[in-house]
Amino acid sequence: MGAKAAKDPVPRVSIPLNPVFGWTVGNWMENFFDGMKEGKILGSRCPDCGRVFLPPRMICERCFAKADEWVELPATGTVQACTEAAVKVAENGDMVDLENPEIIAMVKHDGADTCITARLEGADASIGMRVEAVLNPGAENVLDLLAAYRPMG
């Protein structure tokens, strides 16, 4: 190998790839979003074991049964686990410090057996804290229908 070859031994080529993937949520999640547009929180119940899924699931993963019973759940629930986000990912992919850290919590609604993870308003949170869902029925994007959780009382 001469000195010239050693200078740039690996030619670099970039091949542009532009993947666009989708995810069909299915009828159960469509029903969940439609419910929130009317201010309702809808879960599905397994007819075999009775567990209530929120967000709803079509199949109970333990019973292999179709969870086709719908139940309207209250907006209230309990924090099962929580964290504080100190950074966010900017549009260009960089990590930037948040001016005010945000609380994110796993919330189990009263009457549900599974959790929803979402932003919690305020600066303090603790496991066991009572919270309620803040719905935004007019949201353009279905993912914004559940705006956040808010501490109760």
Partner 1 sequence: MARNEVAVVGVGLSKHVSKRRDVNMAELVWEAVSACYEDAGLKPRDIDAFATGNMPAFEGVNVPEEWGAGHWGAYGKPVLRITTGGTTGGSVAHGGYYLVGSGLYDTVMTIAFEKQSDGNSTMGLNTVALADAAAQLQLGVDPAFIAAFGGGAVGVAVYQASSYMKSSGCTTHHLDKVAALCRNNAALNPCSHLKQPGLTPEEVAKTTLLQYPIRFGHVCPATDGACAMLFTTGEKARKLTSKPAYVLSVASCSDEAALVGIAGSGTTNVDPCEQESCKLAAARAYELAGISDPRGEIDLAEPYSPFAHQMLMFYERLLLCDEGEAPSILDSGSMNLDGELPVCPSGGVISTNAIGASAMERIAECAMQIMGKCGERQVKKEVHKAVAHGWGGAVNLNVVAVLSDTPRR
Report, in Å, the least distance between residue 16 CB and partner 1. 9
Give the tokens for residue 152: 């109760």
Binding residue count for partner 1, defined by CB under 8 A? 23
- The HSE-up count of residue 86 (CA atoms within 13 Å, CB side) is 0
Q: Does 49 bind partner 1 (CB under 8 A)?
A: no
Q: Which stretch binds partner 1 (CB under 8 A): 21-29, 78-86, 90-98, 135-143?
A: 21-29
- x-or-dash pattern for partner 1, window 55-74, by CB under 8 A? --xxxxxx-x----------
Burial 109-132 (b: 16+ CB within 10 A, else e): bebbebbbebebeeeebeeebebb
CB 57 within 8 A of CB 28: yes
Residues in a beta bridge with 83 = 104
Report, in Å, the least distance between residue 21 CB and partner 1. 4
Give the C-alpha separation, 97 to 88, whole Å. Answer: 7
Q: Does 22 bind partner 1 (CB under 8 A)?
A: yes
Q: Which stretch binds partner 1 (CB under 8 A): 8-16, 68-76, 94-102, 110-118?
A: 8-16
- Residue closer to partner 1 by CB (options 25, 86) is 25
Location of structure tokens 């809808």: 42
Residue 148's contacts (CB-CB under 8 Å, 6 or more residues apart) are 118, 119, 120, 121, 134
Q: Which stretch binds partner 1 (CB under 8 A): 20-28, 72-80, 94-102, 119-127?
A: 20-28
Q: Does 36 bind partner 1 (CB under 8 A)?
A: no
Binding region for partner 1 (CB under 8 A):
11, 13, 15, 17-29, 57-62, 64
